[in-house]
Amino acid sequence: CGELMLKENPEDLNSKDISVAILRLPAISPIPAADPLFLIQGGPGGSSIDMATQLHSFFADVRKNRDLIFVDQRGTGKSNPLRCEQLTEADLLLPEAEQKDKYLQIIKNCAEKYNASAAFYTTVHAVQDLDAVRSALGYQKINLWGGSYGTRVALEYARRYPQQTRAII
């Protein structure tokens, strides 16, 4: 486990630093293949690291020869999460119309809270982060496995970084 510090706005060196969380499950082979498998959570908004506890056993054969890499995309999991208030248990006892009004206010407050930085929590930035992780870990090429929304991230990564992409699933 570890983290990579990146700029929230990659084009502004004065932008605040954010942490991108990484989980690396090393290959079992003493001489692993040079190209790991990056596993990308769907959602959007899910934690790839949390997903690792459920999925890693399905990739036991892959892990024999390849590292498995899980990266929480910015704004999710342990990567500078963007968290919004939720309805409380007491709120759920309110009449449906009042619940709806309260929920809409929560959404508006959350949108205002993250308005200034929301543009930096998109697929484009998630893909840039994945490539920064690839580079920081010293991999030349990677394989990508995506579930649900993670398939879009994998496709966008392959489109933007074809020389660093070996395969996508």
Give the max Cα distance, the chain: 61
Question: Both tokens of residue 91?
Answer: 């709120």
- pLDDT 10s digits, 95-140: 999 999 999 999 999 899 888 889 999 999 999 999 999 999 999 9
**Three-state DSSP string of 60-121:** HHHHCCCCEEEECCCCECCECCCCCCCCCCCHHHCCHHHHHHHHHHHHHHHHHHHCCCHHHC
Residue 117 has, within 13 A of its CA and on its CB side, a CA count of 18
- What pLDDT is recorded for position 157? 98
- What pLDDT is recorded for position 120? 96
Tens-digit pLDDT string for the chain (169 aa) = 899 999 999 999 999 999 999 999 999 999 999 999 999 998 777 899 999 988 878 999 999 999 999 999 999 989 988 888 888 899 899 999 999 999 999 999 989 988 888 999 999 999 999 999 999 999 999 999 999 999 999 999 999 999 999 999 9
Q: Please tell me the distance from the alpha carbon of residue 47 to that of residue 90, in angstroms, as a whole number.
A: 28
Q: Which amino acid is at 61?
A: D
- What pLDDT is recorded for position 4? 97
- What pLDDT is recorded for position 83? 84
- What pLDDT is recorded for position 110? 86
